[in-house]
Amino acid sequence: MQNKVVIITGASSGIGKALVYEFAKRGAKIAMGARNLDELHKIETDLKSRGVDALSVQTDVTREADCKNLIEKTVERFGKIDILVNNAGISMRALFEDLELDVIRRLMDVNFWGTVYCTKFALPYILKAKGSLVGIISVAGFLGLPGRTGYSASKFAVRGFLNTLRVENLKKGLHVLVAAPGFTASNIRKTALVADGHQQGDSPRAENKMMSAERCAQIIVNGVVKRKREIVMTLVEGKISVFLSKWFPSLLDKLAYSHMAKEPDSPFK
């Protein structure tokens, strides 16, 4: 990663912030995109005190112009792009029959269209560098999580989009990594949208029992270094669930329903 230029969206917190520090620790130059510019500036100041070359760009990935600006500012500052990590994302928690449709639109705008916009503008530079295009999805991108229709749909869409780009650019040296964390300790559940579009606030899960964002970032960066095509994290909620989805889908449906119904204040029982 020495002197590689890495763009990370959703860089102000959670997995995105952990990825910033993991790439920086390995010698990369970092361009950070997020809506919270104050938090980005705090991270940038800390990185610079450690001798890391970093750039903060206020970015709302639902806006095509913001994504284009992030790419342009990065190239203007560093002259190239080696790696784009599409990490920005939001979640939801509600039954579809109770859900306001705008909630799904918002999830698709952030999770899917944010990935499409940033990738569109960064791809020429990544192809020139024969670099890496990374999408942070979820096990929800492999199996339908009840109460998370919009989230699963958006993550399935990102996986299909990136897998297709891999094939399209098979002879151009492009590396595409689809990384699927299991439940990871971050703020994504606190900011998850409920049926009427408001944030749910407190997480319904035991965050202290989940994989840390830092460990998740280490696995993802190792995957970039090794140019892996896919990473599914955690054993039970990740690898085993994906295996069951391929070979025993009906069993997985029952297990997923039972598991998610045990959450406090679950929208279904």
**How many Å separate Cα 113 from the centre of its chain?**
12
User: How much is the average pLDDT of 111-117?
Assistant: 98
Q: Does the annotation count 257 as an active-site position?
A: no
pLDDT in tens, 11-60: 999 999 999 999 999 999 999 999 999 999 999 999 999 999 999 999 99
Q: How confident is the model at residue 185 (pLDDT cuts 50, 70, 90)?
A: low
pLDDT of residue 219: 96
- Domain segments of the chain as ranges: 5-235
C-beta atoms surrounding 4 within 10 Å: 20
CATH of 5-235, one of 3.40.50.720, 3.40.50.300, 3.40.190.10, 3.30.70.1150: 3.40.50.720
Q: How many helices (H) and strands (E) does the chain have?
A: 9, 7
Question: Per the residue annotation, which of 21, 117, 151, 257 is the catalytic one?
Answer: 151
Global confidence as pTM? 0.92
Q: What is the pLDDT of residues 117-169, one digit of tens each?
A: 999 999 999 999 999 999 999 999 999 999 999 999 999 999 999 999 999 99
pLDDT of residue 187: 63
Q: What number is the average pLDDT over the span 73-86? A: 98
Least confident residue range of 102-116, 128-142, 251-265: 251-265
Query: Which of 166, 181, 269 lies closest to 232, judged by CA?
Result: 181
192 pLDDT exceeds 60? yes
Residue 245 has pLDDT above 60, yes or no: yes
